[in-house]
């Protein structure tokens, strides 16, 4: 079962990250359901502000184009103004290489401890939480599959576990579907 956290917990952890590069990296991971490697290795050229697209290279060198929204573009520009790397969206301290994922994980773990969260809350939990929250908001699983870069719908189906809010939404839909269905004439025996 994937580790899924509430939107509030994800936001709280991200807000606890002190350095803008770390905060921006994990905000992007949560906003798009990225894998940590996909985020830390994003080149500046991944942003197409004319088409409003973020190009991500995923597993198996598969590229996906994600819709870029203004607030994310503004956040990425603000971070870039701090480091001004010509190559990387999230550079290392030396600027010439991308942020090592071990360094990003260490920053995440420090923020996790500061928030008092358990060790099951890992960077990948942000990806799981993103997918689950999208599903809870009614986004079609095939769209989530595309966003996550899964080649098979089976990989995405792990997010279809019925969380309590999802179960309650399903109950509501079932009530609407069956409302009045069992009223009226009862069938005769025999």
Give long-range contacts, CB 8 A cutoff, 24+ apart: 80-83. 80/44, 82/20, 82/21, 83/21
Percent with pLDDT over 70 in the chain: 81
d(C-alpha 115, C-alpha 166), whole Å: 26
Answer yes or no: is pLDDT of 185 > 60: no
Q: Go through the chain and tell me how many residues it has.
A: 190
What CATH number does the domain containing 79 carry? Answer: 1.10.443.10
The catalytic residues are 35, 59, 124, 127, 150, 159
State the total domains in the chain: 1
In-domain check, residue 111: yes
Range of the domain at 78: 7-127
In-domain check, residue 33: yes
Instruction: Give the pLDDT confidence of 26-40 residue by residue, as tens digits.
Output: 999 999 999 999 999
């Amino acid at each position: 079962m994937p580790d899924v956290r509430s939107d509030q917990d994800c936001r709280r952890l991200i807000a606890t990250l002190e350095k803008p590069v770390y905060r921006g990296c994990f905000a992007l991971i949560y906003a798009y359901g990225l894998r940590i490697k996909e985020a830390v290795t994003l080149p500046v050229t991944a942003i197409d502000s004319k088409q409003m697209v973020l190009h991500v290279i995923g597993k198996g060198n598969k590229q996906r184009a994600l819709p870029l929204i203004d607030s994310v573009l503004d956040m990425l520009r603000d971070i870039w103004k701090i480091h001004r790397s010509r190559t990387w969206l999230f550079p290392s301290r030396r600027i010439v290489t991308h942020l090592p994922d071990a360094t990003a994980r260490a920053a995440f773990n420090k923020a996790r401890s500061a928030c008092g969260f358990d060790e099951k809350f890992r960077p990948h939990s942000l990806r799981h939480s993103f997918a689950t929250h999208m599903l809870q908001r009614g986004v079609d699983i095939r769209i989530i599959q595309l966003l996550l870069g899964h080649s098979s719908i089976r990989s995405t189906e792990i997010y279809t576990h019925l969380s309590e809010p999802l179960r309650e939404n399903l109950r509501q839909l079932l009530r609407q579907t069956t409302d009045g269905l069992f009223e009226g004439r009862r069938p005769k025996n025999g």
